[in-house]
């Protein structure tokens, strides 16, 4: 390591790479030690409330650099207030504990500083990127799939909408995005799509939401009606973003419905184009592993009939994926990879996408001609590749089946006279429930307000370092589908082997916290009249 500034380090000259690796392990161990010393239990690292402007007035680059150890020790503060996915009580959202081998894969890419910008610069990182894309594509019969590694599901949507613009308005590449393009998607699809339309130059108003009446997504009549309305308004439907499974109630469109309805309108209205079809399956891609599963293979997994039927229900909705153009994958959501590892996967072969029908050889491939970044980490590529190799198709199926089974187990334990499960029919593994207040509490407060207060109460406990379930909340659950929609608390368990005993402990902890919360209201400690919460994003 070269001397950076006088006094910053005593290590000068050339140090062997092995010594650098030893130093890395030393610093990692030091960091882990300091972080775990802060808090080794609970769903969140505790944090003291702070004011951003006050903290920022005190920050500055030191005049003299500190030692590596001092920097890492000071850095350990960064986790305060962050989630601890190692905890069984971390049930706030889909944040799993990554497995060591995927973390090792990502770390290796950082250690060797591999930039996946072009093959002559980043070695085989672009080949491994295409291997991941091709492998996942083959799960649904896309034998020539190609793809792009990116930072998250939002960016997969950005690639999809950019692809839609390129198809319907190729002139936009040089002249800018025309103002007659719109994107269709379902109510309940990801909240970021409007922002993605803004980033793509379409504007947020170009995102047209279609009402849905069930978790099975958009029906044919609704899609045709909205599509025709937009055409009559002089708009071109550049793309349709279908839901491939959401975090709440697992909203999943039927790909056959989307394709057939789109084709009908195109033919009936004599359109000169066909909309780009993208499946937002950053969560639902895990179900792809079951698309070709036989009855015998399902039987071998020893899953309950309820879980098997839910898996079949989802995979049946992917029957027309061969008619779609692309889909999204988040390996950091449900393939035990560290943040971030996402892929935008296209049906087209790499050569076809690049308008080159000559065989690509090493030295030909440059990613920056189509990526949003030039500087692009290989960590997400490496961790995704290792995950697929470690899991295999059987492992992916087992993991998904275990998560779904854990959710069913939790629902059975939770349901009683005091707790109502609100999403028993969901094909996902989230558990949404409500707690029945006492008549005395209900006399002064609505159930919805009491649930909001309980969510806030639990968050305060978690932020203070208490080891209690880090439940989340959804306001007016299924408000687009039911007139009697109400609030629900959420348990998003990421432990695939949650036992009945662990479920009982989680339930008892929640009910004990509810009892304490109810008493704090009765004693005037908690004032719901001053309550104001922000609903968590999903």
| Of the options 1.10.3470, 3.40.140, 1.10.10, 3.90.1150, the CATH number for the domain spanning 415-530 | 3.90.1150
Check if the beta carbon of residue 216 is closer than 8 Å to that of residue 180.
no
Q: What's the pLDDT tens digit per position in 449-481?
A: 999 999 999 999 999 999 999 999 999 887 666
In CATH, the number for domain 106-399 is 3.40.640.10
Q: What's the pLDDT tens digit per position in 142-188?
A: 999 999 999 999 999 999 999 999 999 999 999 999 999 999 999 99
CA 168 – CA 247 distance, rounded (Å)? 31
Report the pLDDT averaged over residues 267-284: 98
Tell me the C-alpha to C-alpha distance, in Å, between residue 51 and each of 44, 75, 332, 492.
20, 19, 31, 30
What are the structural domain ranges in the chain?
A: 1-84, 106-399, 415-530
Tokens of 63: 């005049």
The H or E element containing residue 489 is strand 488-491
Tell me the C-alpha to C-alpha distance, in Å, between residue 282 and each of 134, 138, 203, 438.
16, 16, 23, 40
Helix and strand numbers (H, E) in the chain are 19, 11
Helix 447-463 with 500-522: angle, nearest 10 deg = 110
pLDDT for res 480: 60
Report the pLDDT averaged over residues 208-229: 95
CA 277 – CA 240 distance, rounded (Å)? 5
The DSSP code for 451 is H
CA 128 – CA 143 distance, rounded (Å)? 16
Q: What's the pLDDT tens digit per position in 348-385?
A: 998 787 777 778 888 888 899 899 999 999 999 999 99
Check if the beta carbon of residue 348 is closer than 8 Å to that of residue 146.
yes
Identify which has the larger pLDDT, 430 or 18.
430
The closest of 405, 427, 420 to 496, measured between CA atoms, is 405
Report the pLDDT averaged over residues 44-67: 94
Report the pLDDT averaged over residues 516-531: 91
Instruction: Give the pLDDT band of residue 482 (cuts 50, 70, 90).
Output: low
> Would you say residue 534 has pLDDT above 90?
no
CB atoms within 10 A of CB 491: 25
Check if the beta carbon of residue 132 is closer than 8 Å to that of residue 381.
yes
Report the pLDDT averaged over residues 395-401: 98
Averaged confidence pLDDT in the chain: 93
Report the pLDDT averaged over residues 220-245: 98
CB atoms within 10 A of CB 438: 12
Q: What's the pLDDT tens digit per position in 136-149?
A: 999 999 999 999 99
């Amino acid at each position: 390591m070269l001397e950076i500034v006088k006094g910053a380090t005593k290590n000068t000259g050339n140090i062997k790479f092995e010594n650098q690796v030893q130093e890395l392990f030393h610093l990692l161990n030091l960091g882990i030690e300091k972080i775990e010393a802060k808090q080794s239990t609970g769903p969140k690292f505790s944090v003291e409330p702070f004011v951003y402007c006050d903290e920022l007035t005190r920050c500055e680059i030191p005049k003299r650099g500190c030692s590596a150890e001092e920097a890492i020790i000071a850095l350990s503060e960064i986790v305060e207030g962050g989630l601890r996915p190692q905890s069984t009580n971390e049930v706030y959202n889909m944040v799993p504990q990554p497995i060591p081998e995927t973390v090792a894969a990502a770390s290796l890419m950082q250690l060797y500083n591999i930039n996946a910008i072009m093959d002559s610069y980043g070695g085989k990182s672009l080949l491994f990127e295409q291997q991941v894309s091709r492998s996942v594509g083959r799960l649904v019969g896309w034998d020539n799939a190609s793809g792009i590694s990116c930072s998250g599901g939002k960016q997969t949507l950005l690639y999809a909408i950019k692809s839609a613009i390129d198809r319907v308005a190729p002139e936009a590449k040089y002249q800018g995005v025309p103002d007659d393009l719109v994107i269709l998607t379902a109510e309940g699809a990801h909240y970021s799509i409007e922002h993605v339309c803004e980033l793509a130059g379409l504007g947020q108003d170009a995102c047209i939401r279609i009402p849905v009446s069930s978790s099975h997504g958009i029906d044919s009549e609704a899609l045709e009606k909205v599509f025709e309305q937009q055409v009559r308004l002089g708009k071109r439907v550049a793309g349709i973003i279908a839901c491939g499974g959401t975090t709440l109630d697992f909203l999943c469109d039927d790909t056959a419905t989307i394709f057939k309805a789109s084709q009908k309108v195109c033919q009936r209205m004599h359109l000169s184009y066909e909309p780009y079809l993208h499946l937002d399956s950053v969560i639902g891609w895990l179900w792809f592993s079951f698309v070709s599963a036989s009855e015998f293979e399902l039987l071998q997994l020893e899953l309950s009939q309820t879980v098997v039927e839910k898996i079949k229900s989802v995979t049946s909705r992917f029957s027309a994926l061969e008619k779609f153009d692309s889909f999204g994958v988040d390996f950091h959501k449900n393939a035990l990879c560290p943040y971030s590892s996402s892929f935008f996967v296209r049906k087209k072969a790499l050569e076809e996408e690049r308008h080159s029908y000559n065989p690509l050889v090493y030295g030909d491939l440059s990613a920056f001609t189509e990526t949003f970044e030039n500087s692009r980490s290989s960590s997400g590529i490496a961790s995704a590749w290792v995950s697929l190799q470690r899991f295999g198709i059987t492992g992916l199926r087992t993991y998904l089946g275990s998560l779904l089974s854990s959710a069913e187990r939790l629902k059975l334990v939770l349901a009683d006279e005091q707790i109502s499960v609100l999403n028993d029919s969901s094909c996902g593994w989230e558990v949404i429930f409500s707690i029945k207040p006492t008549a005395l509490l209900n006399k002064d407060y609505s159930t919805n307000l009491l649930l909001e207060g309980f969510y806030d109460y639990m968050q305060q406990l978690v932020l203070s370092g208490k080891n209690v379930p880090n439940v989340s909340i959804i306001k007016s659950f299924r408000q687009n589908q039911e007139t009697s929609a109400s609030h629900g608390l959420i348990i998003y368990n990421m432990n695939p082997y949650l036992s009945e005993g662990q479920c009982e402990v989680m339930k008892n902890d929640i009910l004990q916290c509810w009892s304490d919360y109810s008493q704090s209201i009765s004693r005037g400690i908690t004032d719901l009249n001053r309550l104001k919460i922000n609903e968590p994003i999903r």
